[in-house]
Structure 1
Amino acid sequence: MKRFSLFLAALTLVVAAGCGNGNNGGNTATDAPKNNAEKPAEGQKKNVTIKVFQFKVEIADALNRMAEAYEKETGIKVEVETHGGGEDYSALLKAEIAAGSEPEIFNAESFAAFDAYKDRATDLSGETWAKDVVPAAAVPAQVDGKLLGMPMNIEGYGIFYNKELFKQAGITENPKTLTELENVAKKLQDAGITPFSTTNEWWSIGHHTINVALADQADPVAFVEGTKNGSEQFKNNEIFKKWINYVDLVFKYSQKDKLTTDYATQVANFASGKSAMIQQGNWIQGDVDKVAQLDIGLMPIPYDDSGNAHIYTGPANFWVVNSKSKHPEEAKAFLDWMVTSETGKSYLTKEFKFIPALTSITATSEDVGQMGAEVSEQAATAGGWQWGRYPDGVPQGWGAAMQEYQGGTINQEQLFDKLNKAIDEIVSK
């Protein structure tokens, strides 16, 4: 069984250069180890309910089971409300708060995403688990020296592929360049196999795909700031000029109904063997396992023929304790239990299949699945997540532009102009 200490060490070096958010049903239940019943911590009230407003649809079922286990151990009820997939989670959360419904715990992305919640996010720096957070995973949630969120986990994305379908098409070597990737796509197509399963979801073809070119800039942070102040234009950037060729290749060699394919269908198509490749992250492991036990590999994403291709890793999201909710102390206690109790840690690794963001939690390749193990193997050369450096609304604007481009209603130059415009419209407000 492979443990992930080396992965976390590599991640500390990789993500420190800049990381961000991630996007993105539960897994088959297993019997989690039982703790001795725990009493509510000092300052907690008995017989209360805390609400968790979260985005990660892949863990929804398992998170509900975890909440039930917590109630059995402590007497504190946890209600989970999940909004993700094609929904705009951020907009729904803001609407929830505006309506006067203050969840005790909610998810926030990274860096700029915390700006909207500075008046609500509780400083978690003094929590017992805070010292164990992988330093690079903490950086995106640190504001004015305060840790405003607990990193949910570490994730990575690239091109996952079905090894059996590659074998059927006579593919014996993984492509390392864009030209080689197109040759692989042609071989698959000639063998009657759809090369890519893609989606029309704004977040997937938007910030995940765009991040490939952002992260590969010589200085990603400087480039991001340049796009904000107007000194950098996507259409004038050499990496984006190459990146668009990768986008075109994926759209060309994907399923015919891609314009109406949502995230769940995209993953199901890959899991059922209807396509050989998918640009997604290890977060799809549980949904794939529900359909089939595939032999899966992971390729870096090539956007040119330099051979300088990467996967991209970062903290998926953050748990934020809402200081304006009714029960913030109970919320902090729940998060503490999640990462320190044997029950909580078992759910995180074995059922959520999370790569832990805390060094105090041990996970094996068997726990996190083949996809998580593949991510860990390539972590040392991974790129970071940069879209979280933009304020809320920018990635959504990017996604809308990418949907237009995917549908053929705008050309490359118009796409690049719209990517800059999406920034200008938010930053200039």
Structure 2
Amino acid sequence: MKKELLNICLIGTLSLSLYGCQQKVKKETQEVKQDKITLSIRNPKVEIAAPFEEMVQAYEQEHPHINIEVHTVGGAIDDLSDLKAELAAGEGPDIFTNQGGKSAELWHDYLEDLSGEPWVPQALPETLSPIRSGEKVYGMPMNLEGYGFIYNKDLFEKAGIQQLPTTLNELETTAEKLKKAGITPFALGYYEKWQLGDHLMNIAFLQQKDPSAYITQLNKGSKTITNNQKFKDLTHLLDVTLKYGNSDPLETDYTMEMNQFSKGEAAIVLQGNWIQPLIDQRSPNLNVGIMPIPLSNNHGEQSLIVNTPNYWVINKQTTPQKKQEAKKFLDWMVTSKEGQGFMTKQFRFIPAFKNIPSNQSGPLATETLRYYKEGRTVSASTLYFPVGIREQFGAATQQYIAKRLTQTQLLKRYQYAWESAQGE
């Protein structure tokens, strides 16, 4: 009888222990599920939308407690139109991008300090300047990008063009040769204000004797755009592209423009090495190169515009746990072999880091790097434009393209936009 009671007690104790263990495991499992963190990322590059999603999935497989939601914007969408409202309402992304310079000053309250991150010593020093304030770094360089005229080498050869144009007159001669060969010289996506108000306008600023001093003088009112020769030259360049481009530039958006160029329906497009993934997808055998944009008839060695277009930044207002995981993700992108592979082989980025090889980013990146290594590059002045003015520049230029403004009226509109932005 005693023995049976003892056995019953032992069985009861064991059952209670097993039940306790089960409850503990169940509780720990629930805690693991509760600890799963969701990060939201705003990606401004439609060119890499698909491979970026693939990279995120690869990261999630390595880090099963992390779920990443990607919102890709760009093209005809204004990346910043609603971002600040979302952040102010506490609904913004955990990781987004900032262009640095004036934009970093404006968004400073939302930028987490990243100075102590492992990737900082690996970044090319010049890439950090626009996102640095004092000794602190507030963003991770996305990449290096160069832009100018991307051209189809085979179409140039077909038209008998043996030398690249270095002056505006030579550019028009080149366009005439292409036209006579039955080739549309320019694919124009002037529906996009950013192409006109950023890429095109930047050329006139960079052609000033001292671009930085010129912007300072514009801000002080001691210089103007209205009577500046370089901006007059800019309208002449625009006129050449319109004369030799597709017939409906204001109805042609980025996607349509890239379709024309990648199909070989036009020989030249105003873009940068970032279009390489789109070319790879649509016409992987397209033989392309990149050249500087000639603005005037002054001979001389032309420079390609190369800079860091965007920085990955972390939302300072998000939770400490999310900030920690966001930092890990950014570090993984540039330090892991898998992350580096996506950046070069699939995104076709020119790395902004010393530790990432740059020999797998495609022909446009290779040519851009050649200009960079030869010292034939200049940085964009747009970083120091008043915030929001690029949209105004673009809208005014579209009015000129539609023949609603004369050259004189256009330059006055540019000047008015600058003065108005200074008062905001």
Residue-by-residue CA offset, 1:379-404 (whole Å, 9 max, x unaligned): 22112111111232111111111111
1:167-246 equivalences under 5 Å are: 167-200=157-190, 201-246=192-237
Letter aligned with residue 146 of structure 2? G
Structure 2 SS opposite 1:89: coil
CA contact (8 A) 1:157 1:280 kept: yes
Post-superposition Cα deviations, 1:30-74, rounded to whole Å, max 9, x if no partner, equal xxxxxxxxxxxxxxx941011111211111111111111111001
1-structure distance, mates of 2:255, 2:89: 30
1:70 aligns with 2:63: no
Distance (whole Å) between structure 1 residues aligned to residue 386 and residue 354 of structure 2: 30
Does 2:296 match 1:304?
Answer: yes
Contact in 2 for aligned 1:159/1:298 (Cα 8 Å): yes
Q: Cα distance, 1:113 vs. partner?
A: 0.4
2:225 touches 2:411 (CA, 8 Å); kept in 1?
A: yes
Cα shift readout 1:56-101 (whole Å, capped 9, x = no counterpart):
1111111111111111001211111111111111112123224431
Deviates more, 1:274-283 or 1:237-246: 237-246
- 8 Å contact 2:149–2:269 — kept in the other structure? yes
% identical equivalent positions: 38
- Equivalent residue number for residue 95 of structure 1: 85
Number of aligned residue pairs: 383
Match of 1:95, SS? Answer: helix
The alpha carbon displacement at 1:411 in A equals: 1.1
Alignment of 1:4-403 (within 5 A): 46-75=35-64, 76-200=66-190, 201-292=192-283, 293-308=285-300, 309-326=302-319, 327-364=322-359, 367-379=360-372, 380-403=375-398
Task: Give the Å deviation of 1:310.
Answer: 2.3
* Amino acid corresponding to residue 311 of structure 1 in structure 2: L
Distance in 2, matches of 1:267 and 1:353, equals: 17
Amino acid of the residue matched to residue 263 of structure 2?
Answer: S
Q: Deviation at 1:240? A: 2.1
Query: Secondary structure in 2 aligned to 1:101?
Result: coil
Note the residue ranges of structure 2 that are not aligned, 5 or more in a row: 1-33
Query: Structure 1's 224 and 249: CA in aligned 2 closer, same or farther, altered over 3 A?
Result: same
The corresponding residue for 1:8 is none
Give every structure 1 segment of 4 or more consecutive aligned residues whose post-TM-superposition deviation is greater than 3 Å: none
In 1, the alpha carbon distance for the partners of 2:396 and 2:371 equals 31
**Could you state the TM-score of these two structures normalised by the residue count of structure 1?**
0.87
Q: CA deviation at 1:211?
A: 0.6
> How far off is 1:241 after superposition?
2.5
Distance in 1, matches of 2:252 and 2:394, equals 15
AA partner of residue 338 (structure 1): M
Quote the offset at 1:118 in angstroms. Answer: 0.9
Q: Aligned letter for 2:175?
A: A
Work out the CA distance in 2 between the residues paired with 1:178 and 1:163.
Answer: 19
Amino acid at match of 1:169: A
Structure 1 match to 2:30: none
Higher mean alpha-carbon deviation, 302-311 vs 271-280, is at 302-311
Letter in 2 for 1:302: P
Unaligned runs of 5+ in 1: 1-44
Cα shift at 1:426: 2.1
Q: Over the residues paired in the alignment, what is the CA RMSD in angstroms?
A: 1.4
The letter for the 1-side match of 2:290 is L
- Structure 1 Cα separation of the partners of residues 385 and 181 of structure 2: 42
Q: Which amino acid aligns with 1:88?
A: D
The more displaced of 225-234 and 180-189 is 225-234
Give, as a single letter, the amino acid of the residue that structure 2 aligns with 1:52.
I
Partners of 2:83 and 2:92 within 8 A in 1: no
CA distance in 2, matches of 1:206, 1:176: 23
The one of the two structures with greater contact order (alpha-carbon pairs below 8 A, sep at least 6) is 1
Matched to 1:226, the amino acid is: Q
Bigger mean CA deviation after superposition, 91-100 or 297-306: 91-100
**Matching residue of 1:29:** none
TM-score (norm 2): 0.88
